[in-house]
Amino acid sequence: MTTPQDHAYSRRLFMQQGVTLASMAATLPQFIQRSAAGMLMPEGSMLSSQAGVPEDQVLVIVQLGGGNDGLNTVVPYGSDIYYKARPAIAIGAPGSSRNNAAALSIDGADGIGLHPAMSEFKEMMDDGNAAIIQGVGYPNPNRSHFTSMDIWHTANNSGTRTNGWVGRYFDCTCKGTPDPESGVSIGRETPLAMVGDQQKPVSFENEEFFKWQGQNLNSALEDPYHRITRSGSLEPVPSNNQMDFLMRTSLDAQLSSDRIRAAVAKRPLVNYPRNRLAQQLQTVGAMIRDQMRTRVYYVSLGGFDTHAGQVGTHQNLLGQVSASLKAFHEDMKAQGNNGRVLTMVFSEFGRRVRQNGSSGTDHGTAAPMYLVGDMVRPGLHGVHPSLTDLDNGDLKFTLDFRRVYAGILEQWLKAPSKEILRGTYKPVNVLKDGLA
């Protein structure tokens, strides 16, 4: 007979030894994973309900690439300046019909509303499960997509691109035993944020392509293939650092392949909309449901670089974001995992206050961030940046993004933010009272 303590112990043991076990017994990883999963998770149980099992909080990061127009997402409809600066693209006040778009009102907010395409997000706010953090940015804003994105990913603006803030969180918590499943990103490119010195995330775009096809040709190839790809390293190491990197990634790929494909094969409990972001979140939902050890998931949606004719494009994009986040939240509720999963949404910068000559907006600075989850302290946080006190036509940030990271690290992931962010940032209170 097993007790919760046994479960916890086995789980911890497996987390520490998983990689070693699997790579030693090259032909048995699936068996090990199945039996480990069986020990840990009696049908229908939730990790969060098990005594003595810490570390089961999950963070999902949603990246909006291209620079989402914050002023047309969280709309300062109470301001005349907003309408003067953006005659062709401004969103009207609730109930108005300016530019055929009326903002959705936010409870308790004065003169600030949401883009009309964000109705699902508003519902989640009304239910007390979503928050907006206003005016987020950093000093000396950089208006290059790539540099600014790097700054958000690395959490520093010195221009070094060696590792990212989530990667450093993994490095800091893994204590020398990297677990390739700690971080999973969906998409073709590995986000720098997830890359640590020791810890690299698993990334894939489509789970179906996530295995070797050689054994289909001839099963005799399976043994030499395992020998080649799971050897970890060749002693003495034959050449350079590139080889170490390739060897490690190869091993990680083998260990993650079976696991992830098994998780994603199940049908979701709720219906997701048909768009790229929703598909990614659906995959994340499946992995969470399958009790993967993953602590941070990363998904992204691009196309927010609305330099020209932005009205329709932006509406469409925000509609996708809002509906996808809501479906994911419903999925978490249906799974009973809604208490475990916090979702954070960001973009590399906002856009300039004044519209440009092409009914679009150019690269700007501060913008809101968004949080979703049962544990989230709901509503509007922080101060909307001033529309009159501008820096060269751009908003001045009112809150450093690293304070949001610090809040998530300290309160949610229970990790030392000073060490990970390499500086002291006062954590934003992201959690409801009594949870932090």
Partner 1 sequence: MPTSSLKPLKQSEFDYWAAQHLLNRAGFGGTPDQVQAVLQMGLDGAIEYLVEYEEAVRPLPLDVDQFDSDIMRPANNMERQLGLQARRNGDERALEQLRQQRQQRQRQDRRQIAQMQRWWLKRMIETGRPLEEKMTLFWHGHFATGYRTIEDSWHMLQQNNLFRTHATGNFADLVSWIIRDPAMLEYLDNNENRKGSPNENLARELMELFCLGEGHDYTESDIKEAARSLTGYTFDDDEFVFNSNQHDDGMKRVLGKTGRFDGDDLLRIILGRTSCSEFICLKLYKFFVNDLPDGMDANTRKFIQRLAAEFRKNQYHLKPVLATLFKSEHFYDRANRSALIKSPIQLMVQTVRSLRTPSDRSMTALVGAGDLMGQNLFQPPTVKGWDGGRAWINTSTLFVRQNIVIYLLTGQGPETMAWESDNIPYDPMHLLEHLDQDGNGTDRIDAGVTYLLKFCLGTNPHPERVESLTTFVRSNGNRLGPDQAIACLCLIAAMPEYQLC
Residue 361 contacts partner 1 per CB under 8 A: no
Distance, in Å, from the CA atom of 395 to the CA atom of 82, rounded to the nearest integer, reads: 12
Among the listed residues 104, 130, 202, 376, the single contact to partner 1 using CB under 8 A: 202
Distance, in Å, from the CA atom of 51 to the CA atom of 78, rounded to the nearest integer, reads: 49
Closest CA to 387 of 419, 365, 412, 413: 365
Distance, in Å, from the CA atom of 370 to the CA atom of 106, rounded to the nearest integer, reads: 14
Give the list of residues 6+ apart from residue 402 with CB closer than 8 angstroms, or none.
138, 155, 421, 423, 425
Residue number with CB closer to partner 1 (68 or 417): 68
Phi (first) and psi of residue 420, to 5 degrees: -75, -40
Among the listed residues 16, 17, 105, 147, the single contact to partner 1 using CB under 8 A: 147
Residue 139 contacts partner 1 per CB under 8 A: no
The alpha carbon of 30 is separated from its chain's Cα centroid by a whole number of angstroms, namely: 28
Residue 219 contacts partner 1 per CB under 8 A: no
Specify the stretch interacting with partner 1 by CB under 8 A; choose among 41-49, 239-247, 281-289, 335-343: 239-247
Among the listed residues 33, 63, 190, 310, the single contact to partner 1 using CB under 8 A: 190
CB of 107 vs partner 1, minimal distance in Å: 38
Contacts with partner 1, 300-319, as mask; x by CB under 8 A = -------xx-----------
Residue 265 contacts partner 1 per CB under 8 A: no
Tell me how far CA of residue 109 lies from CA of 85, 89, 204, 379, in angstroms: 22, 22, 40, 9
Q: Which two tokens stand for residue 90?
A: 């401004």
Residues 164-183 that bind partner 1 (CB under 8 A): 180
Number of chain positions touching partner 1 (CB under 8 A) = 59
CB of 224 vs partner 1, minimal distance in Å: 4
Tell me how far CA of residue 62 lies from CA of 162, 185, 246, 280, 364, in angstroms: 21, 10, 28, 10, 20
- Tell the residue number behind the tokens 């894939």, with chain if given: 204
Residue number with CB closer to partner 1 (40 or 253): 253
Q: What is the dihedral of CA 229, 233, 239, 244, to 10 degrees?
A: 80
Q: Report the alpha-carbon angle 406-409-414, nearest 5.
A: 135
Specify the stretch interacting with partner 1 by CB under 8 A; choose among 36-44, 184-192, 272-280, 286-294: 184-192
Among the listed residues 12, 34, 211, 432, the single contact to partner 1 using CB under 8 A: 211
Distance, in Å, from the CA atom of 303 to the CA atom of 64, rounded to the nearest integer, reads: 8
CB of 54 vs partner 1, minimal distance in Å: 27
Among the listed residues 96, 271, 358, 429, the single contact to partner 1 using CB under 8 A: 358
User: Which residues make up the interface to partner 1 (CB under 8 A)?
Assistant: 143-147, 159, 180, 188-190, 200-206, 208-214, 216-218, 220-221, 223-225, 227-229, 231, 234, 238-243, 245-247, 249-250, 252-253, 256-257, 307-308, 356-358, 362, 392
